[in-house]
Structure 1
Amino acid sequence: MDEVQVVVAHSERATLRVGDVFLKVDADQARIDAEVEAMSLAPVPTPKVLWRKPPVLAITAVPGATLGRLGGPATGSSAAWAAAGAALRKLHDAPLPPRPGRAGRSAAALTAELDDECGRLVASGLLPVGLVARNRRAAEAALRPWTPAFTHGDLQIAHVFLDGDEVTGIIDWSEAGRGDALYDLATFTLGHEEHLDDVIAGYGTDVDLDVIHAWWSLRSLLAVRWLAEHGFDPFAPGCEVDVLRSRM
């Protein structure tokens, strides 16, 4: 191969692509262990593990293309978005994995984290107090009891690959585990509200839209400062800050 592509890199981990092989470098071995375990248990297409030599995990690329990315235009038919919803429902209906995931934090823990983060956002001047306060109130609906499901925990639109209307692979399982199913639905549709109905049509069950809207606010509030501190731009058009403004 004549090129090594840096897919993502920050102080916690990095992912490199060499041809059809992805190399994930992560100093947190528990995170790599959780990813490998989740991919082995998930009833949906996932990358194949080629080898592991801590701190590196080598996996195959998956075929197909994503439906877009946060901050960019969304692609794909309504049927493609519905297919993603159906795959997500299949995951959520699977037997529970042994570990709690990112989507499995308790309401008490989330409340404490959210209140702390909102205080930091205002104190630093990163976001205006009114924007933070309104979204903090909107986020309250997500802080409720939920039935544990097998969740991906970081189901960004860029992590689901399709070929036409068929899901060919879901990547990046390091945050997977037992958690709130609506967190996954909210993460996948973050910034692409116009496709929420299609995803729910494929998901095939009643969904509390107020909770999904609340997760959009909650997830964005928790992400803005971390993204800004790790070289990403949450203020880019269509990204987290625009999501918070849209909730106004």
Structure 2
Amino acid sequence: MGDDDPTKRTLRLLALLQARRTWLPAELADRLGVSTRTLRRDISRLEDLDFRVERKPGPGGYYALAAGSRLPPLVFDDDEVLALIVGLRMAEGRVAEDAAPRALAKLLQVLPRRLSELAHDLAENTQTVRRPRTVVDGRALDKFARAGAASRSVEFTYRDQRGRTLPRRVDSVQCVQSNGRWYAVAYDLDREAWRVFLLDGATDVHLGPIVARRQTPFADLSTWLTTDFGRLGDRS
């Protein structure tokens, strides 16, 4: 049964369009509990509010929220609020300075009252028990992630497990988080072998040129990281 309040239904429609790239009309109408005719009216209501909605008619047709002239408000449900709070609590002390608490404070200010109360209760009554803190430079993580996405090499200074600081050159980067710490799995160009690097040991990170991505020695990264060859914490 759909919501009879057009305003609430329009907000729900906006949240659904934000959650996925495209929706089949029948599928979207079913999620809202309305007819496709009512769905078309709700889509028009969104467009009257200056949200651009892409439409493809006919077989295989879809609706999609287009990149428009204004940023749509973010609409969260209870599960999404829970995911945000858990993620921010896990990030405390692991990203630069007080970024996670500041983000949490901003989130609490803009959420509707009911969700704000839920978020506040979760934030005030949960804590993370962790090993000594390791702070990851967000800019370093960003560069490693971009290198992996764009198939670029990376040059950086690295502090190994013996405390030595050495220059490193890698390519074919993949980033992974495990037990609250960020790692980069990459091919070391000087050692001609795959290595795992703790990102909190990487500084002075610079992106290099685009290179051909190498064939990895593993079919599944998470499985490979549990082997002796790919064990986490190998900071050689």
TM-score by length of 2: 0.24
More helix by share: 1
Determine which structure has more spread, i.e. the larger CA radius of gyration: 2
Which has the bigger relative contact order, CA under 8 A and spacing at least 6?
1
